[in-house]
């Protein structure tokens, strides 16, 4: 694509896998609509607190004043919707600031970072959902993240029919939530495809009741909690 060709001309710092200066972990939460991310996030927050682990809880798009302003633009239903390219660049602009202002400083100080959505959401929504070139997303990922990747990604997987029903009962739908079912089927398939290729993912069956989901989360987090409080 043109974006991919243009980005090739940018001078990108050589990729070095970033390591945390301490045992601090970078954990991301992903899933489709109604998967129960907020509910699971609150549970993980309580686990970290119980283990006296210093952490920052944040979200994407958002997590900084600039990022939250971009989030409003991205979710708003007012006016002409952004083009897919605009949407993608806004998401990565918010992420660049988020890494600079929140995520990297926290990890450097030894604080864990629990982040509601990260770049896997970009692959799932803008890539698989909207059909944007995955190679171009990968190029932007390299440019913006300079090797930073989550240590653990919890994917809350749910049939979009069930998830959308939950989301509808919860609150007014935002711009993404008004997409058709086929979009969410593609998003789900995208997440599952990525999860099948990378061991940092742990997939949780989010159609279970809250107690069962929380038991799975506790089992997934246990090794990290034991290893690095
Ligand atoms: N987006 C993007 O396109 N590209 C990107 O790179 C990024 C994001 C980073 C906003 O994200 C949008 O940004 C998102 C993709 C796009 N699309 N949308 N919409 P968001 O994370 O802020 O929005 P969200 O997906 O709506 O997240 P959420 O508010 O955390 O919702 P949730 O996952 O549906 O969680 P919930 O509120 O906890 O659960 C929904 C309801 O189900 C609620 O009433 C719960 O009480 C109930 N629930 C939860 N768990 C259960 C169980 N186990 N059983 C029964 N009922 C349950």
pLDDT of residue 19: 53
Q: Which residues line ligand 1 (CB under 6 A)?
A: 31, 33-39, 60-61, 91, 116-117, 121-122, 125-126, 166-167, 170, 174, 176-177, 209-210, 213
> 156-184: per-residue pLDDT in tens?
999 999 999 888 887 777 888 788 899 99
Under DSSP, the state recorded for 10 is S
List, in order, residues 6 or more apart from 81 with CB less than 8 Å away.
Answer: 175
Angle between helices 160-170 and 181-197 (to 10 degrees): 120
The rounded Å distance from CA 34 to ligand 1 centre is 5
pLDDT of residue 178: 80
Is 16's pLDDT higher than 70? Answer: no
The rounded Å distance from CA 31 to ligand 1 centre is 7
Instruction: Specify whether the CB–CB gap between 40 and 217 falls below 8 A.
Output: yes
As a whole number of angstroms, the distance between CA 133 and CA 175 comes to 22
* Average pLDDT rounded to a whole number, residues 61-76: 97
The structure tokens 């400083």 sit at: 105
pTM of the predicted structure, to 2 decimals: 0.91
Is 123's pLDDT higher than 80? Answer: yes
Is 1's pLDDT higher than 50? Answer: no
Of the CA atoms within 13 Å of residue 128, those in its CB half-sphere come to 21
Closest CA to 87 of 55, 51, 127, 143: 127
As a whole number of angstroms, the distance between CA 217 and CA 203 comes to 10
pLDDT of residue 2: 41
The rounded Å distance from CA 33 to ligand 1 centre is 5
C-alpha pair distances (Å), 190 with each of 128, 187, 194: 5, 5, 6
Peptide linkage before 83 cis (omega within 30 of 0): no
The rounded Å distance from CA 68 to ligand 1 centre is 17
Instruction: Specify whether the CB–CB gap between 140 and 88 falls below 8 A.
Output: yes
Q: Which residue has the higher pLDDT, 133 or 14?
A: 133
pLDDT category, 220, cuts 50, 70, 90? very high
Q: Whose CA is nearest to atom 23 of ligand 1?
A: 33
């Amino acid at each position: 694509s043109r974006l991919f060709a243009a980005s090739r001309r940018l001078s990108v710092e050589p990729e070095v896998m970033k390591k945390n200066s301490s045992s601090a972990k970078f954990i991301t939460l992903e899933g489709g609509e109604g998967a129960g991310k907020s509910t699971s996030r609150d549970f993980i927050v309580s686990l970290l607190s119980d283990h006296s682990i210093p952490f920052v809880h944040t979200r994407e798009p958002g997590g900084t004043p600039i990022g939250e302003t971009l989030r409003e633009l991205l979710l708003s239903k007012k006016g002409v919707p952004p083009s897919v390219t605009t949407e993608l660049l806004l998401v990565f602009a918010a992420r660049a600031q988020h890494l600079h202002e929140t995520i990297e400083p926290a990890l450097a100080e030894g604080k864990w970072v629990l982040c509601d959505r990260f770049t896997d959401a970009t692959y799932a929504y803008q890539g698989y959902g909207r059909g944007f070139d995955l190679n171009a997303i990968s190029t932007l990922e390299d440019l913006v993240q300079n090797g930073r990747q989550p240590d653990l990604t919890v994917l809350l997987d749910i049939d979009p029919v069930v998830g959308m029903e939950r989301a509808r009962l919860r609150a007014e739908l935002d711009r993404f939530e008004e997409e058709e079912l086929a979009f969410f089927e593609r998003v789900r398939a995208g997440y599952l495809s990525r999860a099948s290729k990378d061991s940092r993912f742990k997939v949780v069956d989010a159609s279970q009741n809250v107690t069962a989901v929380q038991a799975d989360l506790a089992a997934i987090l246990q090794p990290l909690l034991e290893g690095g409080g």
